[in-house]
Amino acid sequence: MKAAVVEACHRLAAEGLLIGTSGNVSVRDGDQVLVTASGAVLGWITEDDVVTADDPRATSEVALHLAVYEAYDAGAVVHTHAPVSTAASAVLDEVPVIHYQQLLLGGEIRVAPYATFGTPELAANVKAALDGRAAALMANHGSVAHGATLHKAVENALLLEWLCTVYRDALTFGQPRTLSPDEQEQVIRAAIERNYGSESS
Ligand SMILES: [Zn+2]
């Protein structure tokens, strides 16, 4: 499990989502949670920097990770300061659905109200913003994504950064069209029929 966390961090850093020591990754391992250590450069992280949630070296955002596990059926959680997601978090109240792939994250992406990093208040705000969603933005801070597996949580974090990038670029052309509730419903129906979003697609 520690090796999988290391691999996830390296991938997210290579994709530009984890910059320096910012951001953190966790995974549920039986009845405990493994998290990245505070101050670790995530692109170079080793298994020594993956610790249990109660370890004093655990990331300062450990409360945020634990809040997600407590509230949702998550197997892994990824928190980043990815550049476009973070920029969006400083301006938007939500990311509207302008692309059908966003429905893999559950719909409109909420922006959790700002609170100081590492506080129970921030953890509570993020937990609320994730209701029915696999990802959220954190106002003036960054992004959070979860998934049933570490792989899925990483994919969801990457998808959110891509969606924020597409939305930003769409805004440079003009006012983007959003998918109506009916169009979203039809996407979900088509996805169920084709098993879209499974590991193979
Ligand atoms: Zn952070």
The predicted-structure confidence for 92-140, as pLDDT tens digits, reads as follows 999 999 999 999 999 999 999 999 999 999 999 999 999 999 999 999 9
> Which amino acid is located at 106 in the chain?
G
User: pLDDT tens digits, residue range 131-153?
Assistant: 999 999 999 999 999 999 999 99
Q: Which residues contact 174 (CB under 8 A, 6 or more apart)?
A: none
Question: 57 CA distance to ligand 1 centroid (A)?
Answer: 16
Q: How far is CA 44 from CA 11, 36, 59, 73, 129, in A?
A: 11, 12, 16, 29, 31
Question: 81 CA distance to ligand 1 centroid (A)?
Answer: 6
Q: Which residues contact 73 (CB under 8 A, 6 or more apart)?
A: 148
Question: 167 CA distance to ligand 1 centroid (A)?
Answer: 22
Q: How confident is the model at residue 195 (pLDDT cuts 50, 70, 90)?
A: confident
Please check whether residue 63 is in contact with residue 38, taking contact to mean a CB–CB distance below 8 angstroms. no
Q: With 60 as the cut, is the pLDDT of residue 200 above it?
A: no
Q: With 90 as the cut, is the pLDDT of residue 185 above it?
A: yes
Question: 96 CA distance to ligand 1 centroid (A)?
Answer: 23
Please check whether residue 40 is in contact with residue 49, taking contact to mean a CB–CB distance below 8 angstroms. yes
Residue 165 tokens read as 């990038």
Burial 63-73 (b: 16+ CB within 10 A, else e): bbbbbbbebbe
Out of 61, 70, 185, 193, the active site residue is 61
Mean pLDDT, residues 3-10 = 97
Please check whether residue 124 is in contact with residue 134, taking contact to mean a CB–CB distance below 8 angstroms. no
Q: With 60 as the cut, is the pLDDT of residue 199 above it?
A: no
Smallest CA-to-CA distance from 150 within 67, 62, 26 is with 26
- Alpha-carbon distance of 152 to 135, in angstroms, equals 11
Express as a percent the part of the chain with pLDDT over 70. Answer: 97
Q: With 90 as the cut, is the pLDDT of residue 34 above it?
A: yes
Question: 22 CA distance to ligand 1 centroid (A)?
Answer: 6
Please check whether residue 15 is in contact with residue 158, taking contact to mean a CB–CB distance below 8 angstroms. yes
Q: With 80 as the cut, is the pLDDT of residue 3 above it?
A: yes
The number of angstroms, rounded, from the C-alpha of 66 to the middle of its chain's C-alpha atoms is: 14
Is 61 one of the catalytic residues? yes
Question: 177 CA distance to ligand 1 centroid (A)?
Answer: 31
Question: 24 CA distance to ligand 1 centroid (A)?
Answer: 7
